Amino acid sequence: MADNYQYPLDLDWTPQEMATVVHMWNALEKAYEGGIDREDLLSKYRAFKEVVPSKMEEKQLGNAFEKASGYQLYGTIKKAKNTESKKITMP
């Protein structure tokens, strides 16, 4: 993990929307730094998708977050959707 990185955010979002996206980034960090409850992660992803409904924008933000942190949005969500495990842990 890279130290002291910035979360990718859109300055046109409302403070509530920014908080929702930050919660998604925090959930990804938890998945890589010890694990997160699967339902909690998917709940944060659903809220994130309400702020970022566009697949293209999701991919751009996910790539920016991965470049900054080393943590992958797509792979983490794919794993959460394709498993029955209660806890999601990324390598």
DSSP 2: -
pLDDT of residue 2: 56
Domains defined along the chain, listed by start: 15-82 (1.10.220.80)
Full-model pTM: 0.92
Q: Kindly indicate the confidence band of residue 17, based on its pLDDT and cuts at 50, 70 and 90.
A: very high
Read off the pLDDT of residues 46-70 as tens digits, 9 standing for 90 and up: 999 999 999 999 999 999 999 999 9
Report how far apart, in Å, the C-alpha atoms of 27 and of each of 22, 32, 33, 55 are: 9, 9, 10, 19
